[in-house]
Amino acid sequence: MYIQYTQYIDFTEVNFAMLVVKNLKKVYENFTLKDISFELEKGYILGFIGANGAGKTTTLKSMLNITHKDGGEVTILGEDFTKNELKLKQKIGFMLGPVDYYPKSRISKIVGVYKDFFTEWDENKYRDLLKRFDIDDSKKISELSTGMKVKLGIALALSHNAKLLIFDEPTSGVDPIARDELLDIFQEIVEDGEHSILFSTHITSDLDKCADYILLICDGQIVQNDTKDNIIDSHILVEGKTADLTDDVIARLISFKTHSFGFKGLMKKADMRESDNFMTEKPNLEDIMIFYNKRMKK
């Protein structure tokens, strides 16, 4: 049940999830987004991972009515997004990749138009962020590196008091040093407990550093939705000989790969047995994504 708030309530004093997605659905001829549901609380970073084509971008676009959804509900800051879209977009910063529109235009010209769409634009904050990110707004968009374009998008979002930041593959194509700096910025943004970040990526190592929660999508379905630590700690990589790969073991494996000496696979720790004679190791997020994706492709 969703709580209805009136204009007299001070939202800073109300405790509700920043983002609630319930049974989101989108149907294409050759792909279906199947009842996507998750929540994001204030002050956290949610990493949205999956292989290319798994449904990450479709989910984000359907959430924000950029693509018409075929079912489901989206609640942002305690309010129904469909009914309050224009109002709530004032509180959202969304980047579908690095800022790359009108590449031959100067940043100052683009921002001069952009800021008129937002009622809480803070010019002083914007200038402070440009200085911090070392962005010269007299430059053209095409003169910025990929990392600088992402920083510009962050500056634009924070300058209109966005509380929820949603980024689609923000670190794709960004060099390792710039990626590390961006991830530090993400962590700083949520430290006040009033901002939240949802960002999709297929670079799972980014999430090892900054994500609190992980949402794993495979072929249009959410297959894992938990804290990063819980997801990693509840799985285990197992390796054994070909003779160990019995029907019982196969049934307990999420998926596996065979090689000349035997097999390697992913299993839930709860499905391990004392009689299992496997070599084991702790998986990382990339291992988990790969083996779940392999299972969905069977």
Q: Which of 31, 22, 56 is nearest to 217 (CA)?
A: 56
pTM given for the model: 0.87
Q: What are residue 100's DSSP bridge partners?
A: none
Residue 4 lies in a domain: no
Of the residues 231, 247, 266, which one is the last residue of a structural domain? 231
Q: Average per-residue pLDDT in the chain?
A: 89
Q: Which band of pLDDT confidence, cut at 50, 70 and 90, is reported for residue 171?
A: confident
Whether 135 and 49 map to the same domain: the answer is yes
pLDDT for position 150: 85
Whether 220 and 239 map to the same domain: the answer is no
Whether 252 and 120 map to the same domain: the answer is no
Whether 193 and 79 map to the same domain: the answer is yes
Is the pLDDT at 227 greater than 90? The verdict is: yes
Q: How far apart are CA 80 and CA 73, in angstroms?
A: 7
Residue 57 lies in a domain: yes
Residue 186 lies in a domain: yes
Interval 11-59: pLDDT, tens: 344 457 899 999 999 999 999 999 999 999 999 999 999 988 899 999 9
Full domain range(s) for residue 158:
11-231
Is the pLDDT at 260 greater than 50? The verdict is: yes
pLDDT for position 298: 63
Instruction: Say what the alpha-carbon torsion angle 216, 221, 223, 226 is, to the nearest 10 degrees.
Output: 60
pLDDT for position 206: 87
Q: How many domains does the chain have?
A: 2
Question: Beta strand pairing status for 196-201 and 32-40?
Answer: unpaired
Is the pLDDT at 146 greater than 90? The verdict is: no
Whether 18 and 151 map to the same domain: the answer is yes
Q: Which band of pLDDT confidence, cut at 50, 70 and 90, is reported for residue 149?
A: confident
Of the residues 231, 251, 276, which one is the last residue of a structural domain? 231
Residue 6 lies in a domain: no
Whether 240 and 273 map to the same domain: the answer is yes
Whether 222 and 284 map to the same domain: the answer is no
Percent of the chain with pLDDT strictly greater than 90 = 70
Whether 249 and 154 map to the same domain: the answer is no
pLDDT for position 13: 43
Of the residues 182, 213, 231, which one is the last residue of a structural domain? 231
